[in-house]
Amino acid sequence: MTEPVKVLTEFVHEDESWTIDRYLRAGGYEAARKACTEMQPEEIIDFVKRSGLRGRGGAGFPTGLKWSFVPKDTDRPKFLALNGDESEPGTFKDRLVMERWPHSIIEGALIACRAVGISTVYLYIRGEMPLGYRRLVGAVKEAYDRGFLGKNIFGIDGFDVDMTIHRGAGAYICGEETGMLSSIEGGRGYPKLKPPFPAVSGLFGMPTVVNNVVTIAYLPYIFGRGIEWWRSFGTEKSPGLMPYSVSGHVERRGVYELPLGVTLRELFELAGGWSRPMKAVIPGGSSSKVLRLPDAWDVPMTFEGPMEAGSMLGSAAVVFMDETVCMVDALYNLLRFYEHESCGQCTPCREGTGWSVKIVRRIAQGKGRPGDIETLLGIADQAIGKTICVFAEAFGWPIQSYVALFRDEFEAYIRKGAHVAHGAQPQAAAHAG
Amino acid sequence: MSAETVDKRELSPEARKEFEWLCGRYPRRRAVLLPLLRIIEREFGCIDEAGMALAAELIGISAAEVKSVVSFYTHYKRDTDGKYVIWVCNTLPCALRGARELTDALERKLGVRCGQRTADGRFSLKKAECLASCDTAPCMQIDDDHYDHVTEQQLDEILARYE
Amino acid sequence: MAEADKVKLTIDGVEVEAPRGSMVLEAALDAGIFVPHYCFHRALSVAGNCRMCMVEVWPRGRDGKPMGPPRKPSIACATEVADGMVVKTKSAMAHEARQGVLEFLLINHPLDCPVCDQAGECDLQDFSFQFGRGESRFREEKAIKGAKDFGPEVRFYGNRCINCTRCVRFTQEIAGSSDLVQVHRGGRNVIDLADGAVFDHPLSGNVVDLCPVGALVSRDFLHKSRVWHLDRTDSVCPHCSTGCNIEVHTQDEVVQRIKPRHNPHVNGYWICDRGRLGYHHVHADDRLTAARRNLGPEHEGEVSVRLSFQEAIAEAGAAIERAGERAYAIANAWLTNEELFALQTLWPTDRIGLIARPPGEEQRFYPKWGDAERNPSLPRQHERGKLYEDGATFVIEADRNPNRTGALRILGEQACSEQRLDAILSAALAGEVETLLVFSGMPDYHPPEVLTGALARVANVIVVDLFDGPLARAASLVLPGAAVFEKRGTFTNGRGRTQRIDMARPTPGQARTELEILFALGRALGRPLPSGSPKRLFELLVEQNEAFAGLRWADTHHVAPAWSPHMAAARKGLPVLASPCAGKGGSSA
Amino acid sequence: MAVTHDEAVERTDERKSSWVERLYLREIVAGLANTFRHLVFESPFTTQYPEETIPYNPRARGEHILKVDEQGREKCVACLLCEAACPSKCIRIVPGPAPWDDRERYPVEFEIDMLRCIYCGFCEDACPCDAIELTPKPYTVFDRRETALYDKEKLKNNYPQDWRERFSDGYGKQTGPPFRREAGDRSLIR
């Protein structure tokens, strides 16, 4: 069985793991020093490209490629915006890194800044993570004190990096890259029209690189241990490690740092299994399509694997559900979340989330009508691909997959007003509203 | 353009200094709005009409724009909230592991439904949308304090810490 | 524009040329292909949130040929035109996308068209008819958001709002006040003001025009009429020297409302609230409707004798004839060029003075972009609302008269000077004036006491006025005049643009336009005017006056382009419901 | 088999009446017998109008009524759709903000010129809130033109109960409610 490969998570269970001393003792800031002093910016980008590092935030976009989109010869200021607004239900890997290993993010940010020629970094952290905010602010202060932030870092003339921790205030949509930029700019977290993409016109209208904090946190290790080491994990197209957030019906929930390509079964077993038979799994955060168990046990968790199975890797947040889970109830829970978190900018998402949650609530209360399922699918269909950001997909895909895979449960609910799963109780009715 | 009845407020010198420092961290003043609102929340306990007017004045935007931003984000403490806000996570991973029971217990203990404020104004109970702590579900947050693996038995002790 | 600044693309099989950097939607509208839209407005930044203008865009591939059909539709308002692009606005993909969006828009929209003032000019109605599904699958409770008075002119019905944010962008980018904002989030999104604030901005009424649905309605027009009953007359606002182009909407000869008419050289899409509400004087209770001779204090009980128009003209003519050199005239800056020209023809200019409404404060409006610009790199985003060289989006001039420039050009500087008026008044006080012809007829005009005082010393005061005010009471002979919306002619605005006004309603009772009065007077005096037609007089004016040289009557009327289907239909006098979706191109011009 | 014109003419010619037949005695006697029968054996079927009236079909289209809700307030919201639908332009409405909280607008004035009305019922079809309806009330009689202008109060109280009793009993028995849509009232606007 695959054993966890502890890289980011090696020291996180120690006390004071978030201090710079602990980080330096683990060899911190050496990789960045080496990369920044010994490599040219183009070489750094090339190195990242060759490593095959892809974004760990959800979309899986190749990091090196993203950096190379930023215009080189521009006198406009460029920004690095780090996305720590982790709000996808089921995901908690960023929280762990930001709270307990924050200096890896700062060190990675230094490499990114050196590569793209950036001197200002904003790290956007969720408003609901006060501890992470305090730790990051502390870490930034320590880094300034030790000269890892500020002017002429590593003694390189003109290599100045300023980093500011920007605290959000409770909006899932700020996890979307342009929504996050709007929020940093001090506005409502409305995603922006694309094109122009952030790499050309992002924060304050300037070229901006947006990366997930974990993506950035891996950079020091890739530079420190080399492309060979990194590529020894995972597959050709999806190399490297991934912190999987495993939650739901397993004995030992938590972040498991494993190579890309482990199967869902391996993850389940690593996490201690569960006493009851399993029914379904969400492989990549709540907005990815649900997969039916046991059909999906052997899906490899790479960027391509879940996609072939009809879902996506997303943020690698794996939520297991056992047979007692009522899928109508589960969908209602998720849709309520999306209804609450839709920014309301585009019509299909603003109206579609509200409408679908009303229908599913009605079904869960036993008042479903024939035709409701078709209407639900119609809503998803009408919304997906028709909004500014991918939020429509985020609430459309669950609708499509829950209804497609567990249509019998929905139909039974509509027919009898009750749930068919063994031992499950319709609970949404009690929580309506 | 706000009503004249609103009393003028001012930041304390330390907060004022922090605000000035923040202004230097961003290329545009408007970007300081979110951090400034946190400062105001801390200074005055919540963000009310006067607080928004103060933010508008300091940033140099209209009070309506501040209201627009404040109302977009759910995490700011408003004047309609209790002294402490209890955020109890109810999203799917937590719901799978007993968030409902915790919420019900909290509702029973406090005698209010989610979204309401206790009669004595001490607590507001709110459903949170994923606190990114799915591994320690059920979980809740009271203001800035996070509680993992909360059981009904612990509630009395936890709530007693907030006077 | 240079050739390089143009791109060629194909929209619905028609090859279209569009400026580089413009959006597909603009290119389509300019080519007469109507694409439905709510949030897009030519003067505002692109928000791209209504998702109504979705079209199928085939970008050009590497080989120069358009690539195959896209996976999903794009919004035309935020897709930049590119060479070789192929756009299909009526394809099945686009049509289905629109149907979906319309269904979403309608689920929480109340079915209260019968009581909604927007009905009849509502984009939601029109597009639902043309592109909608016909029936809704929505069986749930509709969201309730309530209604609220935003300010003296604007009322907000939350339930009807489709969150297009045109009004929000207007207050930010045109009015510069950022009064209106969206509050809350998601489905609870609603337009609101700051707590306790009142939306009393001078341009507030424009959000009513901008609102594509009935969410923002005019309190002045509230429940007054249905728009399909209204007759539209193009005119020019008389309330300041900006000379905004307007439409006067009347029903049964009663002015119901004023709407702006787009003119990119003068007012853009906007008018101020003063102009919007500045028609009530037309129906004032104290409007004069009959000519009369005021009797002096010696006639106890009886105050005045009613005269017919002919009698009054005959009396006036006789009084002017009798006075000879001792007859003076006072014109005003609300008279049309033609009327001033007629007066100048009849009367020696050295015995003409000019009164005008006192100046107010000049108000210039600039966008207030704030720090968080929506999409700074979208082309022309900052230029969209700009109307004036200095970046102003709208100007309310200090001069509260529509035609002072015309008066200056026709009567000359001396006649229009303060000194001339003072000279005439002091002559009157000295008893040297026997007959004085005063044109007033300006609403909200309070004649200075020196004027009313001077009138008391003049034997024959002939006043042409709209209202039974101090001037009419001080006169010996009163002739009812015409309001601006009751006559034809031209005004020359503060920037020297000569623009036409037209008759939206007839003069009430025996009232006559000043031009008719002058024409009749000319006949009575034995010096008939060459013509009584404003058009003919304008042509003569152009011939005789250098300042007007080269102008043609036709040029004085700016025809606003019609970018919405009901605007186009209203202009053509057609019903709106010719479906552009059924083929045959849009009804947009 | 088709009969040609010529054939038909010929056949008619064949059946010439005899002179006895041409006296029509039989027909005259039969007709007189019928008259006599009615005179002696059957009651007269004329109605002694105006003392008596014949019952009208409840679906006949007569004068309008402006319906009211439980509180006696007119249901009309002054949308002016009846005015738009009216082919003879006999309806005049002045809309205004309603004095009640539960609705937006109401007719400040509502007037129908009964001399112009052609009783087509389009107004009833156009009405989105079932506020106007044509009753079977038949006689629209005026002595002066002014009285032909029915105002709001008159329209609200048109077709009172005694008229209803007098006219709605149909042909011998009640054939249905006098107001056609009472059962499925589909008010849209409140």
Nearest to A229 by CA among A238, A220, A221, A237: A221
Cα–Cα distances (Å) from D12 to D7, D8, D16, D17, in that order, read 9, 6, 7, 10
B125 in Cβ contact with B86 (< 8 Å): yes
* Helix, strand, or coil (residue C277): helix
CATH number of B84-160: 3.40.30.10
CATH 1.10.287 fits B13-72, yes or no: no
Q: What is the pLDDT of residues C276-320, one digit of tens each?
A: 999 999 999 999 999 999 987 677 767 889 999 999 999 999 999
Contact state of B62 with C183 under an 8 Å Cβ cutoff: no
CA angle, A42 then A47 then A48, to 5°: 100
What is the C-alpha to C-alpha distance for residues A337 and A323, in angstroms, rounded to an integer?
Answer: 22
Residue of A nearest to C101 (CA): A348
Nearest to C180 among B49, B64, B66 (CB): B64
What is chain D written as a DSSP string?
-PPPHHHHHHHHHH-PPPTTGGG-HHHHHHHHHHHHHHHHHS------TTTS-PPPPTT---SEEE-B-TTS-B------HHHHH-TT--EEEEEEE-SSTT-SEEEEEEEEETTT-----HHHHH-TTS-EEE-S------SSSGGGEE-HHHHHT-S-HHHHHHHTT-SSS--S-SSTTSTT------
Tokens of D96: 């205004």
The distance of C21 to chain B (nearest Cα, Å) reads 27
Mutate to test the interface with A, among C25, C40, C46, C51 (most CBs of A within 10 A): C51
Residue of B nearest to C186 (CA): B72
Helix (H) or strand (E) holding A369: none
Question: What confidence category does residue D187 fall into, taking pLDDT thresholds of 50, 70 and 90?
Answer: very low
Residue D166 has pLDDT above 70, yes or no: no
Which phi and psi angles does C293 have, rounded to 5°?
-105, 120
pTM of the model: 0.90
- Selected residues 94-153 of chain B with any CB under 8 Å from a CB in chain A: 95-97, 100, 128-137, 141, 144-146
Residues of B in contact with C184 (CB under 8 A): 71-72
What's the CA dihedral at C459, C463, C467, C468 to 10 degrees?
20
CATH 3.40.50.300 fits A327-431, yes or no: no
* Average pLDDT over every residue of A250-260: 94
Q: What is the pLDDT of residues A310-359, one digit of tens each?
A: 999 999 999 999 998 989 999 999 999 999 999 999 999 999 999 999 99
Q: What is the pLDDT of residues D155-164, one digit of tens each?
A: 998 876 666 6
Helices A391-405 and A347-364: crossing angle in degrees, nearest 10, is: 30
Q: Which residues contact A168 (CB under 8 A, 6 or more apart)?
A: A85, A124, A125, A126, A127, A174, A180, A183, A189, B34, B73, B75
Question: What confidence category does residue B89 fall into, taking pLDDT thresholds of 50, 70 and 90?
Answer: very high
- Can you give the pLDDT at residue D137? 77
Structural domain spans, chain A: 20-231, 241-322, 327-431
Residue A422 has pLDDT above 90, yes or no: no
- Can you give the pLDDT at residue A75? 86
Per-residue b or e along C322-341, where b marks 16 or more CB atoms closer than 10 Å to that residue's CB: ebeebbbbbbbbbbbbbbbb
DSSP C452: H
Tokens of C430: 């000295």
Contact flag for D and B (3+ C-beta pairs < 8 Å): no
DSSP A263: B
- Can you give the pLDDT at residue C367? 86
Higher pLDDT, C420 or A366: C420
The strand pairing partners of B59, in sequence order, are: none
Chain A touched by B8 (CB under 8 Å): no
Which domains occur in chain D, in start order?
Answer: 64-163 (3.30.70.3270)
Contact state of B61 with C370 under an 8 Å Cβ cutoff: yes
Cα–Cα distances (Å) from D181 to A274, D176, D177, in that order, read 63, 11, 9
- Can you give the pLDDT at residue A431? 41
CA angle, D84 then D90 then D96, to 5°: 60
Residues of C in contact with B61 (CB under 8 A): 178, 370
Residues of B in contact with C197 (CB under 8 A): 1-3, 63-64
Q: What is the CATH topology of the domain spanning A241-322?
A: Ubiquitin-like (UB roll) (3.10.20)
Class of domain A20-231 (CATH, top level): alpha beta
What is the C-alpha to C-alpha distance for residues A299 and A304, in angstroms, rounded to an integer?
Answer: 10
Q: What percent of chain D stands above pLDDT 90?
A: 36
Structural domain spans, chain B: 13-72, 84-160
- Can you give the pLDDT at residue C508? 94
Residue D46 has pLDDT above 80, yes or no: no
Nearest to A253 among B95, B134, B145 (CB): B134
C336 in Cβ contact with C501 (< 8 Å): yes
- Can you give the pLDDT at residue C219? 95
Residues of chain C with pLDDT under 70: 1-3, 297, 301, 369-382, 562-589
Residues of C in contact with B49 (CB under 8 A): 195-196
**The residue to which tokens 């700062």 are assigned:** A106
Residues of B in contact with C192 (CB under 8 A): 64, 67-68
The strand pairing partners of A248, in sequence order, are: A320
Q: Cα D15 from chain centroid?
A: 49
Residue of B nearest to A174 (CA): B73
- Can you give the pLDDT at residue C567? 62
B136 in Cβ contact with A246 (< 8 Å): no
Q: What is the pLDDT of residues D50-85, one digit of tens each?
A: 777 666 677 788 889 998 888 889 999 999 999 989
Q: What is the pLDDT of residues A76-98, one digit of tens each?
A: 899 999 999 988 999 999 999 99
Q: What is the pLDDT of residues B108-158, one digit of tens each?
A: 999 999 999 999 999 999 999 889 899 998 999 999 999 999 999 999 999
Classify the C-alpha dihedral C455-C461-C464-C470 as positive or negative: positive
Chains in contact with B, where contact requires at least 3 CB pairs less than 8 Å apart? A, C
Higher pLDDT, C18 or D179: C18
Helix (H) or strand (E) holding C428: helix C418-429
Residue of C nearest to A171 (CA): C185
What is C487-510 written as a DSSP string?
--EEEE-TTS-EEEE--SSPPPTT
Tokens of C217: 């309605």
What is the C-alpha to C-alpha distance for residues A225 and A239, in angstroms, rounded to an integer?
Answer: 14
Q: Cα A254 from chain centroid?
A: 15
Helix (H) or strand (E) holding A5: none
Which phi and psi angles does C231 have, rounded to 5°?
-100, 140
Residues of B in contact with C177 (CB under 8 A): 62
- Can you give the pLDDT at residue C369? 67
Contact flag for B and C (3+ C-beta pairs < 8 Å): yes
Contact flag for B and A (3+ C-beta pairs < 8 Å): yes
Nearest to D79 among C114, C224, C229 (CB): C114
Which domains occur in chain C, in start order?
Answer: 3-104 (3.10.20.740), 140-283 (3.30.70.20), 291-360+400-533 (3.40.50.740)
- Can you give the pLDDT at residue D175? 39
Chains in contact with A, where contact requires at least 3 CB pairs less than 8 Å apart? B, C
Contact state of D104 with C228 under an 8 Å Cβ cutoff: no
**The residue to which tokens 């290119």 are assigned:** C27
Quote the ipTM score: 0.88
Helices A347-364 and A372-383: crossing angle in degrees, nearest 10, is: 160
- Can you give the pLDDT at residue D172? 35
What is the overall mean pLDDT for chain D? 78
- Can you give the pLDDT at residue A377? 96
Residue of C nearest to D129 (CA): C114
